[in-house]
Amino acid sequence: MEMADQLTYKGKPLVRCNNEIYYGNPSDSHVVFIQILSTQEKDGVQVPNKVHVQLLSNDPTLGPNARIIKSSEKTGLYSALDIGHIWLERALSGK
């Protein structure tokens, strides 16, 4: 059986399970967590509308709430991925 290609956005992996998406390499210091809160129908397809995005630290010594570095609510998946990418790049570069 052939394995499917991994989804990526701007060169980083995307992993989706139901309404949750993780963006970034799990081995890096930070990842982005996106939760789809609501959808709307466009041309017969359900698309994300209200989306919650968080920049998370992968530091195992921190508690769940302390791992949340930044958090925001966006309209649409692209807006969430866009801000998540910016946050992730800054965090990984140490800025």
Q: Which residues pair with 51 in a beta bridge?
A: 36, 74
Kind and range of the H or E run holding 81: helix 77-93
| Domain coverage including residue 73 | 24-93
Q: What is the pTM of this model?
A: 0.87
Residue 10 included in any domain: no
pLDDT tens-place string over residues 33-64: 999 999 999 999 999 999 999 999 999 999 99
Residue 1: pLDDT band with limits 50, 70, 90: very low
Neighbours of 48 (CB within 10 A): 21
pLDDT of 94 reads 83
Residue 34 included in any domain: yes
pLDDT of 5 reads 66
Residue 28: both structure tokens together: 């890096």
Residue 11 included in any domain: no
Total domains in the fold of the chain: 1
